[in-house]
Amino acid sequence: IDHDVMTEEKLHQINNFWSDSEYRLNKHGSVLNAVLIMLAQHALLIAISSDLNAYGVVCEFDWNDGSGQEGWPPMDGSEGIRITDIDTSGIFDPDDMTVKAA
């Protein structure tokens, strides 16, 4: 996070774009935490659903490339937030799954 670019005001704009903004502020203690947790959830869903690495996820947030994610700025650092890594390994550990025949 570059706080000179991604100001507290801009963080509030991102948080307030989505419903339950006050709930997130109360639960996570700060607008920065609220936005970063929401971003982590969103970025992980993109990575898992499209089998993307960090570069691929960053591209999904690129409005200039025809993609972009509603409510989010680019994640290449140009707007103050840069995704540098995404690790989806272990999220779906087969040892944590139980399958039952219907």
pTM of the model: 0.86
Do residues 99 and 57 make contact, with C-beta atoms less than 8 angstroms apart? no
Distance between CA 42 and CA 47 in Å, rounded? Answer: 9
Distance between CA 3 and CA 87 in Å, rounded? Answer: 24
Distance between CA 37 and CA 89 in Å, rounded? Answer: 18
Read off the pLDDT of residues 2-33 as tens digits, 9 standing for 90 and up.
999 999 999 999 999 999 999 999 999 999 99
Read off the pLDDT of residues 53-74 as tens digits, 9 standing for 90 and up.
999 999 999 988 768 999 999 9
Pair of tokens at residue 8: 């507290």
Read off the pLDDT of residues 74-89 as tens digits, 9 standing for 90 and up.
999 999 999 999 998 8
Distance between CA 79 and CA 73 in Å, rounded? Answer: 6
